[in-house]
Amino acid sequence: MRLTGFLIFVSGKVLKAVILLAALSVLSFWLVSKSPIDPVQSYIGADAMVVGPEQRENIAAYWGLDRPPLERLYSWGAALLQGDFGTSMIFRRPVLTVIGERFMASLMLMGLAWIISGLLGFWLGITAAMKQGSWLDRLIKTYCFTLASTPTFWLGLLLLIVFAVWLGWFPIGLAVPAGGLAEEVTLAERLRHLILPALTLSILGVANVALHTRQKLIDVLNSEYVLLARARGATEREVLFRHGLRNIALPAVTLQFASLSELFGGSVLAEQVFSYPGLGQATVQAGLRGDVPLLLGIVIFSAMFVFSGNLIADIIYRLVDPRIRQGEASG
Amino acid sequence: MSMPGEVSGVKTEPMLSVRELSVSFIQYARGLKQQLLEVINGLSIELYPGEVVAVVGSSGSGKSLLAHAVLGILPGNAIVSGDMQFGGEILTSKRQSTLRGTEIAFVPQSVNYLDPLMKVGAQVKAAVKQGSKREVQQKIFKRYHLDKNVENLYPFQLSGGMARRILVAGALVGNARLVIADEPTPGLHPAVVKETLHHLRELSDEGRAVMLITHDIKAALEYADRIAVFYAGTTLETANVADFSGDGSDLRHPYSKALWKALPQNDFVSLPGFQPASGELPQGCLFAPRCHMFKDLCKEKRPKERSLRGGKVRCHYAT
């Protein structure tokens, strides 16, 4: 039966997710506990001269840092199972609230970059494949190969210099204008702050989809079924719209979902360059200042995020590809 | 057996006539040095309405390329020369593009020639150029005893026999006068092979010309009227099916005779040596290195095609 097959598939995936998260939690906890950064020291910061050793011990005891790592892991894990991610040391608010807030900002950024890079990459890939061997194809390929080896922060800085500093078209950083009330920020202002970081991520995200789409479409154009279509009088346009898109859309969409990990990684760097207050920036802060609960919370959350992307890609394949869909129905 | 082109005593024009066709590919040899690889050379063949002509030869002899050349779907790096006529008029690439899928139909090798993500009914409909796509498709499905629900199946769900019928059905969406079937029966169950060849025979009996490209001589002998023997990119002989009988003395070319003798029901002895690869063709007769009638002339001069005893042969010494 088709439904039971699907249920087995999903529960298998969920089981994998649970194991992944458990292993990830232990590993991250261990790594953080080995970190050379002393959370108390980084919390106190410039006030180090004023805060005495006794006060330091008090802070450590308040955070539970005086207890052995295993005990801390246990109490953190037990609280986590009840949905309590703890309190962020640097924001002094519940981790989940911080992540939620920061994620909404990042979601806008990543979502915009995801859609632009997907559509642009798909279009570039099709153009290159249809004109295979031409100067246009070579141009697109060169563009993609160059971008694939470009660091995110470097491109971000470059865009900042050109469009924010020299031309002054866009603000230099942040998500909203500084010095105003939160209620007075308009959508247009938010978008203006969003464009450069989103552009940075989109320009870099294009390469993957474009190159894959190009190769896949070239395979399709060389396939036997396209040969038959041509032998039966189909024009190149009909070949593309009847057979090309049908056979390359699914790989492109699933690739785009599976590339969420790269997008997330890229957003960490882009947000840092643009001082964009998203989840990526929070990650950097939590790491540098030894905010263990927030860092672990973000690790678990981002793992779930990337895992969901891959899961969605898998599910789409099963729902759309008739060879898997119908094969399950009859098998 | 009547002569080709004679239908009830009246001489008709050939439906397809290919004369001295050559196909070469531009290849990059070392670095940027270009090299021309000749895969078909001096090929001639004629097809008349109402007949099945089998093109027989081992793999690599250029059979499929002949089909692609007639349809005009060779890859971009191919260079074609020679003369092709369809219905008495020269086949230009512009004419080819209007005739493909209408007057010239193509039956491919296997189910791989169907789009794996498209329902087969829709694929047959997509090939329809005139009239109601739906009606034409349903009529053809009925003719080939394909159930109504088959049109909603994907290629991977078809049985071998169904796939065959779909592929043949696709050739009938237009008013095809010429049907080119490229190895339509490899690796199939004998009953399915028989059914497919029977369908092709039917198409020719309805007045179409059918080119059956195959390496299965046995099947060709059973269903074709004439047989063109292919070797290293050219036709060494075109013979009537009846010539393939007895000890093969009615055949003209030593290679055809060797092919005939190699069949299990005959002497079952294969000819030593192998077909020369394109790019390493001998200067004279292509078959010379394996020929027992070989003389000096064969080494120097490639024989032209000539008529002999109601067939055609490309040999200096055939009688």
Above 80 in pLDDT, residue A237? yes
Above 60 in pLDDT, residue B8? no
Map out the domains of chain B as residue ranges.
48-67+92-103+174-313, 105-170
Give the chain A residue whose CA is nearest to the CA of B176: A232
**Assigned fold of A95-321:** MetI-like fold (1.10.3720)
CB–CB of A233 and B102 under 8 A?
yes
Residue in B115, B129, B154 nearest the CB of A225 = B115
Residue in B101, B156, B170 nearest the CB of A323 = B156
Candidates A223, A232, A320: best to mutate against B (most CBs of B within 10 A) is A232
Region B124-148 average pLDDT: 86
Whether ipTM tops 0.90, in short, is no
Q: Collapsing DSSP states into helix, strand and coil, what is residue B187?
A: coil
Region A198-215 average pLDDT: 90
Is B114 an 8 Å CB contact of chain A? Answer: yes
Chain A residues closer than 8 Å to B157 by CB: 326, 330
pLDDT value at residue B55: 92
* Residue B119 CB coordination number (10 Å): 18
Please, what is the average pLDDT of chain B?
Answer: 84
pLDDT value at residue B9: 46
pLDDT digit string (tens) for B278-316? 777 888 888 888 888 878 888 888 888 888 888 888 888
Q: Find which of A35-49, A310-324, B93-107 is predicted with most confidence, using mean pLDDT.
A: B93-107
Region A218-246 average pLDDT: 91
pLDDT value at residue B298: 83
Region A264-271 average pLDDT: 86
CB–CB of B106 and A232 under 8 A?
yes
Please, what is the average pLDDT of chain A?
Answer: 84
Give the chain A residue whose CA is nearest to the CA of B110: A224
Closest CA to B141 of B151, B152, B133: B151
* Residue A237 CB coordination number (10 Å): 10
Above 80 in pLDDT, residue B82? yes
pLDDT value at residue B227: 92
Give the orientation angle of helix A245-258 with respect to helix A292-320, to 10 degrees: 160
Phi first, then psi, for residue A155 (nearest 5°) are -65, -40
Above 60 in pLDDT, residue B10? no
pLDDT value at residue B1: 43
CB–CB of B108 and A242 under 8 A?
no
**Assigned fold of B48-67+92-103+174-313:** Rossmann fold (3.40.50)
Is B100 an 8 Å CB contact of chain A? Answer: yes
pLDDT digit string (tens) for B174-212? 778 999 998 887 777 788 888 888 888 988 998 899 999
Give the chain B residue whose CA is nearest to the CA of A234: B127
Chain B residues closer than 8 Å to A322 by CB: 117, 154, 156
pLDDT value at residue A193: 80
CB–CB of B112 and A224 under 8 A?
yes
For residue A147, count CB atoms less than 10 angstroms from its CB and return exposed for 0-12, middle for 13-18, buried for 19 or more: middle
The side-by-side arrangement of strands in the sheet containing B311-313 is: B104-107, B178-182, B209-214, B52-56, B226-231, B234-240, B311-313, B306-308
Cβ distance B252 to B309 under 8 Å? Answer: yes
Phi first, then psi, for residue B27 (nearest 5°) are -125, 150
Of the ranges A2-6, A248-252, A265-269, which one carries the lowest mean pLDDT score? Answer: A2-6
Of the ranges A119-123, A226-230, B113-117, B313-317, which one carries the lowest mean pLDDT score? Answer: B313-317
Cβ distance B100 to B125 under 8 Å? Answer: no
Map out the domains of chain A as residue ranges.
2-81, 95-321
Which residue(s) pair with B17 in the sheet? B46, B85
Above 50 in pLDDT, residue A29? yes
Cβ distance A211 to A229 under 8 Å? Answer: no
Percent of chain A surpassing pLDDT 70: 92
Above 80 in pLDDT, residue A44? no
Q: Which residues contact A310 (CB under 8 A, 6 or more apart)?
A: A257, A258, A260
Residue in A228, A242, A326 nearest the CB of B154 = A326
Region A20-26 average pLDDT: 88
Closest CA to B81 of B131, B18, B136, B33: B18
CB–CB of A233 and B112 under 8 A?
no
CB–CB of B108 and A228 under 8 A?
yes
